[in-house]
């Protein structure tokens, strides 16, 4: 077995053997690409079993600096959050790959790692151009039903699933502060953003001022794009990259969903949303994603064309808010 992996070959086999049994002999390990935060490997065994190895190696996270300084209610990285949200989602009927085992000992390695169920399927974005419209309907209607189930799981305080402390401020204030930080970063590299920084900041304050207080929050994924949904051979959706899930304004999720799913958002739409919150979160997303694209460019993300396109497109969308 030729393995290039975070775990030594002997350690990996020992780990798999302890979790599943000695009949599970690892025959291949391959890096699964696409993630900007954790490292993911697919493992295959001689008995036909496959699973996934997650590695939370902060040194390989393209947002390492930000993750190290996040507030608890802004965190979207870490094995503890994966474990928490995996259990919460499954308990509430939301499908996500099963967690087989999580190793947080850090005795042999300076990072946490886990064995997770392998979903043999495709990402939801692959169904955007599926030839069979009936298949499309089934996939996205099921995803819409899943979202409704998740978002209608409500409570009176925002934050992580295990949070029980009442916070006096509104959750959108967190996004307001983040938008200011990301706007400042983007202004250093994009001339149009720099010359319109004060106007964009004024627009953020204007949109935020329209938001009325709320004490009811739904459970959201936090970064719900079509690349964060796997669809198995039974056309059942599974949520992945769940570390950022929490109780929050569901408008934050829906403004992101509309942007990422395009025409297919019609399957996910909710007609009872607060339009003021939607507008505020839309602008926040555009500013934040502009900054994210720039950081991926600056920090060596393999797909530089994607990173460049992300920053350019999202900056243009942000600037439209001050042209209205």
Print the SS3 string covering 41-106. Answer: EEEEECCCCEEEEEEECHHHCCCHHHHHCCCCCCCCCCHHHHHHHHHHHHHCCCCCCCEEEEECCC
Residues 6+ apart with CB under 8 A from 62: 36, 37, 295, 296, 299, 300, 301
Task: Give mean pLDDT, residues 74-85.
Answer: 86
What is the set of domains in the chain, with CATH numbers? 9-118 (3.30.200.20), 122-320 (3.90.1200.10)
**Residue 40: strand pairing partners:** 32, 54
Q: Taking the CA of residue 125 as centre, how many other CA atoms within 13 Å lie in the half-sphere pointing to its CB? A: 9
Give 275-294 pLDDT, tens digit per residue.
999 999 999 999 999 999 99
Burial class (CB in 10 A: 0-12, 13-18, 19+), 77: buried
Q: What's the confidence (pLDDT) of residue 81? A: 94
The strand pair at 50-56 and 121-123 is best described as: unpaired
Q: What's the confidence (pLDDT) of residue 213? A: 93
Q: What's the confidence (pLDDT) of residue 134? A: 97
Q: What's the confidence (pLDDT) of residue 324? A: 63
pLDDT confidence bin for 70, thresholds 50/70/90: low
Reading the block at residue 30, the tokens are 């391959």
**pLDDT exceeds 90 at position 130:** yes
Q: Can you tell me which residue has the tokens 């490997």?
A: 41
The SS3 of residue 219 is: strand
**Residue 45: strand pairing partners:** 26
Give 188-208 pLDDT, tens digit per residue.
999 999 999 999 999 999 999
pTM for the whole structure: 0.93
The SS3 of residue 3 is: coil
Task: Give mean pLDDT, residues 201-217.
Answer: 96
Task: Give mean pLDDT, residues 41-64.
Answer: 89
């Amino acid at each position: 077995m030729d393995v290039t992996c975070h775990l030594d070959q002997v350690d990996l086999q020992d780990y798999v053997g302890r979790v599943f049994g000695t009949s599970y002999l690892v025959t291949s390990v391959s890096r699964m690409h696409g993630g900007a935060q954790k490292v993911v490997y697919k493992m295959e065994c001689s008995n036909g079993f496959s699973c996934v190895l997650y590695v939370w190696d902060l040194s390989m996270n393209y947002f390492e600096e930000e993750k190290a300084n996040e507030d608890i209610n802004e965190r979207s990285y870490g094995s503890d959050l994966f474990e928490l949200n995996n259990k919460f989602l499954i308990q509430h009927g939301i499908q996500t790959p099963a967690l087989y085992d999580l190793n947080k000992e850090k005795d042999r390695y300076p990072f946490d790692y886990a064995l997770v169920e392998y979903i043999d399927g495709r990402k939801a974005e692959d169904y955007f151009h599926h030839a069979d419209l009936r298949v499309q309907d089934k996939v996205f209607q099921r995803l819409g039903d899943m979202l409704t189930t998740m978002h209608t799981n409500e409570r009176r305080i925002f934050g992580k699933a295990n949070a029980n402390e009442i916070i006096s401020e509104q959750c959108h204030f967190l996004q307001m502060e983040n938008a200011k930080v990301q706007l400042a970063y983007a202004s250093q590299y994009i001339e149009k953003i720099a010359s319109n920084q004060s106007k964009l900041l004024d627009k953020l304050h204007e949109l935020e001022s329209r938001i009325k207080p709320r004490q009811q929050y739904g459970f959201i994924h936090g970064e719900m794009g079509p690349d964060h949904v796997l669809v198995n051979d039974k056309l059942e959706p599974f949520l992945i990259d769940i570390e950022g899930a929490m109780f929050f304004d569901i408008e934050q999720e829906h403004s992101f969903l509309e942007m990422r799913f395009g025409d297919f958002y019609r399957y996910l739409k909710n007609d009872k949303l607060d339009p003021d919150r939607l507008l505020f979160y839309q602008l926040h997303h555009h500013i934040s994603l502009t900054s994210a694209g720039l950081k991926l460019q600056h920090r060596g993300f393999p797909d530089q064309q994607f990173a460049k396109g992300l920053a350019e497109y999202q900056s243009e969308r942000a600037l439209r808010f001050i042209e209205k």
